[in-house]
Structure 1
Amino acid sequence: MFKSKRKVLIVSLLMVLFLGFSSLVGAKSITVLVEGGGPAHKVAESTAEEFEKISGYEVIIETAPYDGIYDKMRAEIASPTGAYDVATIDVLWIPFLYNGLLPLDDVLTEDMKNDFFPGLVEGGSINNNSYGIPVWTNSKLLLYRKDLFNNEEYKKEFNKEYGYELEVPKNWEEFRDVAKFFTKDLDNDGVTDLYGTAVIGGNHGDSVTGWLEHSLQAGAESLVIDDKGDIVINKEPYIEGLNFLNKIVNEDKSVPSGTLEMLIPQAANLFWDGKLAMTLTWGHFYVPSNDPEQSSIAGNVGVAPMISGDKGIGAIPGPWYQVVPESSNEKEIAKEYLRFLYERNNLYLEELGVAARESVFNAFKDKKGYEHLEPMMKTLNAEQTKNRPAIREWQRIESEALIPAVQYTLGGSKTVEESIEWANEQIENILK
């Protein structure tokens, strides 16, 4: 009987050890860091089960708010723990994080590079090493109200006042004329209730991209700092770009009040509420513009490429990348995960309205609801479309020099030239 009990005990212990070992073997996983509620979060959730079936690795998803992603990655790089195997990050953070990221040149094939939009691979690279795989990109587009542009009475009035046909604007002159024309008191109560457009002047990087995009259109060859490291913000294209915005706000008065608090989401809401005739906004805002639950003008929204200046269309892309921390304990599986999601890049387009691969854009551009893709392709492929400088100081330059310069000008406390000269001095101090 004692031997029998001992035999049972041994068998039980062996089973416990076996089950424990099996659970350890089966507990293979990678941890993915994404912005909570964003497209990367939704795509990670929708593909986790499939990746586990293919690889045998569970996908553990950790979320954080936008700024929290950066904070968590900085902390991981400062004190490596192996907490994350993959993260989806804003292009602006790569210059701060790349020293703690795994180079991914062995993941990026020539076919992949050729399928990404111009500048996307370079945007995720530092010192000729690629640290990020693009998951989506974005650009500003022109959204406009088709019901206004197709109105026969408005067409007659515009032609009489400006001497040419009312059409969707393609350049600065047409944009200013149309914005002035559609700034109206529709019910004759002495209060303007329709504005031609909005200008982003709030304390945000979008006020900077608005100015710099017009500077590119005027002929800027690089953004703020050239390839030699020289500051070029006091050159003529930058003066022209800021002056263009200043005229719309302070001379034409074609925008609602509160420009210095205006951000892209507020402008989008005004457009969706039918209070703006046009808006220059990120392309993914086109999708909700035609959603009756979000927009009172749904079904009447048209989309066109970014407007052009003397040197053509110019915009600043807004890409995001997947990266692998050097501290990852599952680097090879993390790379497989990047390849896996590259093949499913269409999922980001379905969630956000944008993707990174031109082939995905081409596959969707003729489908209903994706009318913004062709204008975006034209904008992203334009010769004057350029990335922001990949330097660690860029966010300080934006917040401490460029945003105040925009606000000084649009608020009327400095002239365009004074604002730019002031910004130039601030950037010199930052770079020192």
Structure 2
Amino acid sequence: MSSRTTISRITAIGGLSTAVLLAATACGAGGPAATSGSAASTVNVLVEAGGHAELTGVAEQCKKDTGVSANFVELPYDGMFNRLSSEFSSGNVSFDVAALDSVWLPSFKDAVQPIDELFTDEAKKDIFPALVKEANVDGHFIGMPAWTNAEIILYRKDLFDDAKNKAEFKAKYGYDLAAPTTWKQYQDISEFFTKDGMYGTDVKGGVETEWLAHVLQAGSPMVLDENNNVVIDNAAHKDALDFYTSLVKSAPPGAAQVDWAAAQNLFNQGKTAMTRFWAHAYRQIPKDSPVAGKVGAAPMIGGSAGVAGVPGPWYLSVPKATKNSDAAKKFIKCAYDHNDLGIESSLGLASRISAFEKYQDKPGYESFKPLIETLKGQATATRPATAKWQQIVDTALVPMLQKAVAGGDSATLLAAAKKQIQDLLK
């Protein structure tokens, strides 16, 4: 997910407000100073608003298993980043464990300690490959993934299963109407359902992640290659952008301003037949929604490189400055051992493959198999490991997308974005 649309954002668009979460958190935004001594039995855990709910079950189990208690400190996204930056710079931290957005790892890599011992061969086999790769920075594992997500396809089963729609679609396009697996199928189905006051899909000009997933599907790394060269103007980026903007004619007007919340509302209100959206949203469809009980889930579509998505993980890390490392690592191991408990939370996510598999065949969790397939996709990759990533998103990628969906020339816009990003990285 965009690093500004993570826990508090997605719980809010699912109907759970950050205010409620903060009101329910005893420790608020302050929290005591870190406990000194390796034998301390309480760890202070710094999380974004919403993270406490995700980790409550883990904390309770950890207390039973190890005697280590957790005191949660919740902060809004920007406030948390600022708190981390300030305390890491000072060398005096008030927390023993921090939940880090994946895009923060490059910024804070020198302030957190290796937890290589937790990444056993068995553990690495049960974590999605893209997350194992991202957690390893400069040869050491510095964060254990606590939960992750990715975009999949949500579609209206009732419309796809309708006999009249099936017959008309096959007559027009020459193949059976079913959940799309390719760009072309997604275009055809979007076009087909754009009628009678409905749109086939949405186009999100206000966020970058979805377009970047299509870049991966087209066979290119996102924006930067492994040597940090800016490749945003290559053929794959242009193909992905052309595909993305081709859907504007099958989407509601005002695409330049559509973000995650707007797209989710459009789908839940029955305005769109399909959406590429984060898998957690399947379980957050309101019971009084006109589409409740009528939604199917499928893996993210694929391009020439196959199915691919951009994961949205958060990692649990231990600051070098804590005096409570042993207890902190025990807590993180508990979080890994009991990772499936997060699925019972309001956010409803995990990071271990086995945790998702445990629930994938249960009613109400039909989005998990598509999520697993998407996260296992060979082309699936996390965002570029640069401390400038959020700046690149805010100043180059989103403005470029907004101009593109409004009719701008793809090649011209990508070339301009390349120069802008190169200047940012100087």
What TM-score range do you get, normalising by the shorter chain?
0.7 to 0.9
Match of 2:209 in 1: 209
**2:296 aligns with one of 299, 302, 305:** 302
Note closer, same or farther for the CA distance 1:93–1:85 as it changes in structure 2 (3 Å cut).
Answer: same
Match in the other structure for 1:9: none
Matched, 1:29 2:33: no
- Residue 385 of structure 1 deviates from its aligned partner by 0.9
Q: Is the 8 A contact 2:193 2:273 kept in 1?
A: yes
CA contact (8 A) 1:353 1:370 kept: no
Q: Aligned residue for 2:29? A: none
Q: 1:401 to 1:27 in 2, by over 3 A?
A: closer
Partner SS for 1:99: coil
Q: CA RMSD in A?
A: 1.9
Show the counterpart of 1:270.
266
Partner of 1:219: 219
Q: What SS does the corresponding residue of 2:223 show, helix, strand or coil?
A: coil
- Please give the secondary structure, in 1, of the residue aligned with 2:233: coil
Equivalent pair of 1:45/1:61 in contact (CA under 8 Å): no
Provide the rounded CA distance (Å) in 2 between the counterparts of 1:231 and 1:27.
47
Aligned to 2:229: 230
1:365 aligns with 2:369: no
Structure 2 residue aligned with 1:20: none
- What letter matches 2:254 in structure 1? G
CA deviations on 1:212-271 (whole Å, 9 max, x unpaired) are: 211211221x2211122222111111000000111111xxx1111121111112111111
- Deviation string 1:163-200 (CA, Å, 9 cap, x unpaired) is 32222111111111111111112xxxxxxx21100011
Structure 1 residue 55: deviation in Å? 3.7
Provide the C-alpha distance between the structure 1 equivalents of 2:338 and 2:84, rounded to a whole number of angstroms.
25
Which stretch has the larger CA shift, 105-114 or 370-379?
105-114
TM-score when normalising by structure 1: 0.86
Name the stretch that deviates more: 43-52 or 79-88.
43-52
Q: Which has the higher contact order (CA 8 A, sep 6+)?
A: 2
* Distance apart, 1:117 and its partner CA: 0.8
Q: What is residue 5 of structure 1 aligned with on the other side?
A: none
CA distances 1:17-59 after superposition (whole Å, capped 9, x unpaired): xxxxxxx9998521111122x2x31144344444334444432
Which among 165, 168, 178 is matched to residue 179 of structure 2? 168
Task: Give the match for residue 190 of structure 1.
Answer: none
Match of 1:42, SS state, is: helix
Which runs of 5 or more residues in structure 1 are unaligned?
1-23, 186-192
* CA–CA distance in structure 2, aligned partners of residues 303 and 219 of structure 1: 24
Name the aligned partner's letter for residue 92 of structure 1.
Answer: V
Between stretches 352-361 and 44-53, larger displacement belongs to 44-53
1:199 aligned to 199, 203, 206, which one?
Answer: 203
Going from structure 1 to structure 2, the CA distance change for 1:54 and 1:363 (only over 3 Å counts) comes to closer
CA contact (8 A) 2:58 2:341 kept: no
CA-to-aligned-CA distance 1:332-372 (integer Å, 9 cap, x gap): 11000111111110011222232111111221111111111
Deviation at 1:69, TM superposition (A): 1.9
C-alpha contact 1:239 1:417 (8 A) present in aligned 2: yes
Whether the aligned pair in 2 keeps the contact of 1:314 and 1:386 (CA below 8 Å) is yes
Instruction: Give yes or no for the alignment of 1:84 onto 2:80.
Output: no
Match of 1:402 among 392, 397, 403: 397
> Distance in 2 between the 1:353 and 1:398 partners?
27
Which is further off, 419-428 or 54-63?
A: 54-63
Whichever residue aligns with residue 33 of structure 1, its letter is L
Which residue of 2 is the match for residue 381 of structure 1?
376
Could you tell me how far 1:82 is from its partner in structure 2? 3.0
SS in 2 for 1:106: helix
> Does structure 2 retain, via aligned residues, the 8 Å contact 1:82–1:329?
no
1:261 aligns with one of 241, 247, 257: 257
Q: Normalized against structure 2, the TM-score is what? A: 0.87
Aligned residue identity for 1:45: T
CA, structure 1 residues 26+242, in 2 after alignment: closer, same or farther (shift >3 Å)?
Answer: closer
Query: Which residue of the partner structure matches residue 31 of structure 2?
Result: none
Q: Supply the distance in 2 between the matched residues of 1:390 and 1:132 (Cα, whole angstroms).
A: 14
Aligned letter for 1:362? Answer: E
Alpha carbons of structure 1 residues 197 and 87: separation in structure 2 relative to 1, 3 Å: same
Q: Structure 2: which 5+ residue stretches go unaligned?
A: 1-36
2:378 and 2:405 mapped to 1: Cα distance? 28
Give the Cα–Cα distance (whole angstroms) in 2 for the partners of residues 311 and 153 of structure 1. Answer: 34
Q: From the superposition, tell whether residues 49 and 363 of structure 1 become closer, same or farther in structure 2 (CA, over 3 Å).
A: closer
Structure 2 counterpart of 1:329 = 323
Match of 1:131 in 2: 142
Aligned pair 1:419/2:413, yes or no?
yes
Report the CA distance between 1:399 and its aligned residue. Answer: 1.5
Amino acid of the structure 1 residue aligned with 2:218: A
Separation (CA, whole Å) in 2 of partners of 1:101 and 1:314: 30
Worse-superposed segment, 170-179 or 396-405? 396-405
2:327 & 2:258 partners in 1: Cα distance? 44
SS of match in other structure, 2:203: coil
- Is 2:327 aligned against 1:314? no
> For the Cα contact (< 8 Å) 1:170–1:308, is it kept in 2?
yes
- Any idea what SS the aligned residue of 1:242 has? helix
Q: Secondary structure at the match of 1:119?
A: helix
SS in 2 for 1:180: helix
Which residue pairs with 2:113 in the alignment? Answer: 102
Pair 170,44 (structure 1): closer, same or farther in 2 beyond 3 Å: closer
